[in-house]
Amino acid sequence: MKKKLIFFHLLNNFTGSPQILRNVIETAVKDGFEVQLYTSSSRGFLTAIPGVVYRPNYYRRSSKRWITLFTFFFSQFILGMVIFRHLLEKSTFYTNTILPFSAILAGRMMGKRVITHVHENKVSPAVLDKFLFWIVRNFSSEKIVVSGFLAGNPKLGGRSISLIPNAVNSRISEQANPVDWFPGNFTVLMLASLRPYKGTQEFVNLANRLSNIHFMLVLSDPAEEVEKWQGTLDVGPNIEIFPVQEDVISFYQRSQLLLNLAHPDKWLETFGMTVLEGFCFGIPAIVPTQGGVAELVEEDLNGYKIDYTDPDLMANKVLELAQNQFLWERLSRGALIKSKEYSLPEFERKVLEILTA
């Protein structure tokens, strides 16, 4: 008889956490688990995974924060009732991110083993942060974290924590041929969202400052929101801005440098999936000095750690890499070497150790 896994993820989209969950689910399906997934009906990395039975979680996002909060709690209320259909079956609950809290609570009430894959260092507002981490800390059977930085978060309680760094999916790794440096054809890439603490305004400012260098900004937001935001900007012809993309491989293939300009004083990146993906193409990175993303970058070996608060140093370093082929090629080799430390087979092995325990 197949072992049964019930997965829970709040919002299906094209960001890091659903991408990692897809890797976990595909690993489970390949190993013979019977898999069900509760998630939103929106398109994303969790769409149309072979061998998965889908169930709705009734969650919708809105541009108005109070509506999003309302639908969040409403979705958890409904979910907390409907998942009692699993009461009499032998199954394991696997919640991706700390947000599907009703699955954690209901799962433990039903005597299930509950695994929580933690991607967050904090959420807002603060009262929700305390509530969610209290539930994860007290009701999860086991917790998986994505970085050493996150493993040290005291809000997780320090017990029953397994560190499994993220890995690039096979579709990207199979197409990740190293990019080249060409004089006069240097492209700087950033993948982010429109949230202010992600550094999108600083990216635009940098592009305007370095007008002889090509910049590409790929956002995880829908086209209408991107167009509205772009209409408020003064951008030069050297920057291209794109809405959410289902496939970002072509953007990596055209880039020589990757930026992460998140504001560590407001938001600490817990891993840095786009940096790792860029490394697979031999693209060096400039990232913040704190958080899980800083664990990927080794200073002057595969990139640099510079905070958004130092735009002069940032601009000088980008310009240096655009002009110094020898330096760029050395960092590119370092990026490729670092990417090998985060292989998908090793990720799958560690996941299966937990799922089959």
Look at residue 40 in the predicted model and tell me its pLDDT.
Answer: 93
Q: pLDDT digit string (tens) for 54-104?
A: 999 888 777 777 888 888 999 999 999 999 999 999 999 999 999 999 999
Tell me the one-letter amino acid at 226. Answer: V
Q: Which CATH superfamily hosts domain 4-164? A: Glycogen Phosphorylase B; (3.40.50.2000)
Question: What is the architecture of the domain spanning 172-341?
Answer: 3-Layer(aba) Sandwich (3.40)
Q: pLDDT digit string (tens) for 173-203?
A: 889 999 999 888 899 999 999 998 999 999 9
The full set of domain ranges for the chain reads: 4-164, 172-341
Split at pLDDT 50, 70, 90, the class of 1 is low
Buried b (16+ CB within 10 A) or exposed e, 313-343: ebbebbeebbeeeeebeebbebbbebbeebe
Q: pLDDT digit string (tens) for 103-143?
A: 999 999 999 999 999 999 999 889 999 999 999 999 999 99
167 in Cβ contact with 342 (< 8 Å): yes
Examine domains 4-164 and 172-341 and report if their fold is the same: yes
Helix axes of 325-339 and 273-280: crossing angle, nearest 10 degrees: 110
Look at residue 67 in the predicted model and tell me its pLDDT.
Answer: 83
Query: What strands lie across the sheet with 303-305, from one edge to the other?
Result: 239-242, 214-219, 187-192, 257-259, 285-287, 303-305
Q: Which two tokens stand for residue 247?
A: 């496939």
pLDDT surpasses 90 at 342: yes
Look at residue 64 in the predicted model and tell me its pLDDT.
Answer: 77
Q: Which two tokens stand for residue 26?
A: 């595909």
